[in-house]
Amino acid sequence: MASSNENAPSEPAKMEQIITEFFAKSLHVILESRCPYVSTRNYSGEQILSSPSPSSSSSSSSSSFRPRDKWFNLALRDCPAAFENIDFWQQSNLEPVIVDVVLIKRRGGSEPLSSPKRGGLVRDVDEFGCGKKSEKIIERWVIQYESKKGCGGKGGGVSGSKRSTCTSSHVLYKKSLLLLRSLYATVRLLPAYKLFRDLISSARMRLYNLGHRVSSFVEPFTRGEEADMQQFVFSPVDTSCGRLCLSVAYCSSLMDVSEPSTPISPQFIPEYVGSPMAEPHRWFPSFPESQRSQFTCVFGRHHSWSYDSYSRSHASIPISKRQTSYSKDPSCEEYRTCTDFSLPPNVASQTFVSMQDADASDHQTISTFDKLPFKKDEFRKISDEKPSSNSLLSKLISRTSSSLTFAGGSDDSEFGAFVLDNDAKLGLGSRSGSLDSPLRHEPANNESQVGALVHMLQNAPPLRNKSYFSQQSSNLDGHKNCTQESNKTMADALNELREYGELKGDLLKQSKDSQA
Amino acid sequence: MVIGSLATLNLPMVVDLIGIFELKGPYCTLTMTDWFLQALSVIPRGSWGDVARRFTMIRWEVEHFEIREVLRCILHTVLFHRALGLVRPKDVDLELFEITYVQCGDMEVERKIDEKIDQFIDRVEKHPNKKNQICLSFYEVKNKQATWFTNKVERLYWEQWYINLNVAQHPKGHSGKSNYSKIVVGPGDTAAEARTARRAALESSLRDVLFQIIRFVNDKKDHVPPIPNLEGVSFPYEITISSSSDSAFGMDMFKRMLQTGHPSMLS
């Protein structure tokens, strides 16, 4: 009897471990349903990690559960916020864990709030850009272990017979398990869960966000705040040395939050890849000529491939200001979600777009859209100033296939020709019809296409490089050099292509990992 | 029999009955006396410990198309708290209400519940005027007692959940208003507004019931048997459907006595 007890972990150690894991698990349960940025885009109330139905006799289904899932027999989705926050607490089991779920609303602005970065602390005002915001604690979860007097130390000494202590850890585990089940169900019944679900749905922009704070000590609510809160106290789990307590104070009414959000009204996307508007150099016979001029130069939406000298003329405008103007554009959000369209077979170009799409940083995404569309006046100006470029333009147009949709890069004068205004007198032919023939009937030259594309990508502006715009004015003079640089070998082009493909795969994998 | 039950009331029974009474909401179609008598009617005479714990929901009146969602929500919530094996919970959004409930993720459980709900709906359609009830019971299997007459495995029920639902009769104008204490519908309101208000009240009551289930599960845990090392559902359970008319209380109770296997309860 004594020997068997020596081999088994002691009861106090078991109970301490159960309590420690209970804190971690309960924090996980709370935060996984309150932290919007850790939820996947495909959240639909169903399981994200599909797993076979657990059966009592099947051992293979157990393999789909990770070791931490088996604690309290509850397999949960990944929640990095929970893992980050539990680290600081594990230093002492006796301190309570208090989780404040905070509602952040923007005052007086129409700009939607972005999700907080990993860490979830909402005190950083700059995180949401300019504009005042208000915070309100809508839930306060308190998880604590109250030690009984007379039990010494962390985990406490165990009093009573060994038989009672042997069962106490089992009983504690069972009761903790039941408590966690109730917690899991309760977090989904409280009003804040609806806000969480609204936030993670990708269809609407919201003027509020959810944040959280995890700490051991908080300021108590004021009387006014307390009057708005309701309490739900779970029955504590008694142990031989204390009791495990769990409670929540929550705002029962969050009606003022459910203000009308800005729904993204369905819009036709005239500039989808492959469309006449996105490829004005390729005129579709069915497209009325009268409408071609409406969409060619001034796009309602900003596209990376429409970068041209318009941005050069606005090089003096600070990027932040441009970002502001961009973010006010209600079509921006729509664009982001629309970058998943299928691209033409030019993989490099596809990589270029998906690189920007996979990048979750708003700054990088916004700077991509600094490549503003070519305005016809600018184009006319360039074409008038550089008459010698027209022959080059015609050559390039003849080389590149109609599937090329990017007009970025330093040689905007060349690729800007793809963004044509029918009214512009380009010297390439006053009518688009004359442009059709070289484009339509020119046989595709893969090598030159790839070379031209690679050259364009090589000279594409860095995402945050301000100085790039000042360089563009000098590039107009060096278009001859650019022409020479486009004559790259096939091997170089394929190497570039492969690198971009690998980069794209890495970014997609990272995004998938972060969503999982 | 009712008087006999009253005579055997003890304090825990009264406390639990009072707790059940708190569930009374806009869907209570009984008077206080009727409710009390009905609650007592499901209690076998004798000690409350015959069944360790019993949760009886006040009878609700719901629309026919609401039965499935209400029952799924309640049954799955209970089973999620009793499927104590390793589970990967599944969140399900109700279509008629803004409520998300949790399933244990066991496909077999889901199939069985849907099957029983279908049976309940069939019963309701066949006997719309009867008081229909669905009961979720958890039991332990006692040792087989092979006798000359029966080799039935005896079950020891340690928890039972009674869900009472009536299907609303087609309302005539505003006739449904008077039973709903929480709904104030003016005489000028249209039927659509009344339905909306009724739906909101039902949603509120359903959410209250779920909270009650959570409280009930957490109040007492000692009677729950040790958790076996299984995945998913850890305790055997059964779902039974019964229906009784107002005049058949006695027979219904007699049947329940037979099910619990306590011949001493027979009068």
Of A46, A177, A232, Cβ closest to residue B90:
A46
Residue B52 has pLDDT above 50, yes or no: yes
CA–CA gap between residue A110 and residue A332 (Å, rounded): 14
Show which of residues 210-249 on chain B sit within 8 Å of chain A, judged by CB atoms: 210-211, 214-215, 217-219, 221, 224, 226-227, 230-233
- Picking from B84, B217, B219, the nearest residue to A73 by CB comes out as B84
Q: Is residue B5 part of a domain?
A: no
More confident position, B24 or A95: A95
A33 → chain B, closest CA residue? B91
CA-based nearest distance B258→chain A, Å: 31
Return the closest-CA partner of residue A230 out of A244, A249, A214. A249
Contacts of A178 in chain B (CB under 8 A): 81, 84, 217-218, 221, 224
- The proportion of chain A whose per-residue pLDDT surpasses 70, expressed as a percent, equals 41
- Could B88 and A65 be called an inter-chain contact, meaning their C-beta atoms sit closer than 8 Å? yes
Locate A192 and state its tokens. 């804040």
Per-residue pLDDT at A139:
95
- Residue B4 belongs to a domain: no
Query: A498 lies in a domain?
Result: no
Q: Which of A18, A40, A182, A244 to mutate to test the interface with B (most CBs of B within 10 A)?
A: A182
Number of domain units in chain A: 1
A216 within a domain of the structure (yes/no): yes
| Chain A nearest-CA residue for B219 | A235
Work out the minimum CA distance from A112 to partner chain B, whole angstroms: 25
Average pLDDT, chain B: 74
**A4 CB-contact burial (10 Å; exposed 0-12 / middle 13-18 / buried 19+):** exposed
B133: closest CA of chain A, how far (Å): 25
Domain that holds residue A93: 11-37+70-106+134-148+167-254
Amino acid A452: pLDDT: 85
pLDDT at residue A65, as a whole number: 75
Q: Does the ipTM surpass 0.85?
A: no
Interface of A with B (CB under 8 A): 45-47, 49, 51, 53-56, 58, 61-62, 65, 69-70, 73-76, 170, 174-175, 177-179, 181-182, 184-186, 188-189, 193-194, 197, 232, 234-235, 237
State residue A166's pLDDT score.
46
Which of B87, B80, B86, B83 has the alpha carbon at shortest distance from B101? B80
A226 found inside a domain = yes
pLDDT at B242: 87
Domain that holds residue B99: 48-146+157-169+191-222+231-242
Q: pLDDT for A197-253, tens place per residue? A: 988 886 666 778 888 998 888 888 888 888 889 999 999 998 888 889 999 999 988
Query: CA-nearest residue of chain B to A53?
Result: B106
Average pLDDT over residues A314-318: 42
Between B181 and B82, name the one with better pLDDT. Answer: B82
pLDDT over 90 (residue A183): yes
Q: What is the mean pLDDT of residues A390-406?
A: 46
Asked whether the beta carbons of residue B210 and residue A189 sit closer than 8 angstroms, the reply is yes
Q: Which residue has the higher pLDDT, B68 or A324?
A: B68
Our CA-based measurement puts residue B159 at a distance from the nearest CA of chain A, in whole angstroms, of 15
Report, in this order, helix, strand and coil percent for chain A, each rounded to 5: 45, 10, 40
Q: What is the pLDDT of residues B194-241, one digit of tens each?
A: 888 999 999 999 999 999 999 999 988 888 888 887 777 889 999 999
Mutation target for B interface from A176, A189, A233, A234: give the one with most B CBs within 10 A: A189
Looking at beta carbons, which residues of chain B come within 8 Å of A184? 80, 89, 102
**Rounded Cα–Cα distance for residues A223 and A230 (Å):** 13
B156 HSE (CA, 13 A, CB side): 11
Residue A26 resides in a domain: yes
pLDDT at A422 over 80: no
Among chain A residues, CA nearest to B226: A174
What pLDDT was estimated at residue A82? 72
For residue A97, report the phi and psi dihedrals to the nearest 5 degrees: -110, 120
Nearest CA in chain A to B76: A185
Nearest C-alpha of chain A: how many angstroms from B103? 9
C-alpha B194/C-alpha B183 separation (Å) is 9
Looking at the 3D structure of chain B, how many domains does it have? 1
Distance from CA of A133 to the nearest CA of B (A): 28
Mean pLDDT to the nearest integer, A163-179: 78
Mean pLDDT of chain A: 63
B80 within some domain: yes
Amino acid at site A368? T
B91 and A45 in contact by Cβ < 8 A? yes
Chain centroid offset of residue A494 CA: 31
Query: How far is the alpha carbon of B115 from chain A, nearest alpha carbon, in Å?
Result: 18
Asked if pLDDT for residue A95 goes beyond 70, the answer is yes
CA distance A106 to chain B (A): 26
All residues of chain A having their beta carbon less than 8 Å from the beta carbon of residue B92 are: 45
Instruction: Using the predicted structure, report yes or no on whether residue B188 has a pLDDT greater than 70.
Output: no
Task: Establish if B203 belongs to a structural domain.
Answer: yes
Per the structure block, which two tokens stand in for A318? Answer: 């600070």
What local confidence, expressed as pLDDT, does residue A368 receive?
38
Q: What percent of chain B has pLDDT over 70?
A: 61
Within its chain, how far is the Cα of B57 from the centroid? 5
CB spacing of A53 vs B93 below 8 angstroms: no
Cβ within 8 Å, pair B87-A194: no
pLDDT higher than threshold 50 for residue A40: no
Instruction: Give the pairing of strands A242-251 and A133-147.
Output: antiparallel
Instruction: Please tell me which residue of chain A has the smallest CA distance to B107.
Output: A53
Question: What gap in Å lies between CA B196 and CA A159, rounded to an integer?
Answer: 58
CB count, 10 Å around CB of A222? 8
Q: Which amino acid is residue A54, in one-letter code?
A: P
The DSSP line for A63-85 is: GGS-GGGGGGGB-----HHHHHH
CA distance B214 to chain A (A): 6
B208 touching chain A per CB within 8 A:
no
pLDDT at A268: 65
Whether residue B127 lies inside any domain: the answer is: yes
Exposed, middle or buried, B155 (CB in 10 Å: 0-12/13-18/19+)?
Answer: middle
The angle formed by the CA atoms of residues B238, B244 and B247, to the nearest 5 degrees, is 150
The answer to whether the beta carbons of residues B132 and B243 sit under 8 Å apart is yes
CATH number of the domain to which B117 belongs = 3.30.900.10
CATH number for the domain spanning A189: value is 3.30.900.10
Q: Residue A300 domain-assigned?
A: no
pLDDT at residue A486 tops 50? yes
Least confident window among A77-81, A130-134, A339-343: A339-343
Q: Report whether B240 contacts B155 (CB < 8 A).
A: no
Question: Does B58 score more than 50 pLDDT?
Answer: yes
* Partner A contacted by B159 (CB < 8 A): no
Can you tell me the mean pLDDT for A125-132? 52
Pair of tokens at residue B26: 């806009």
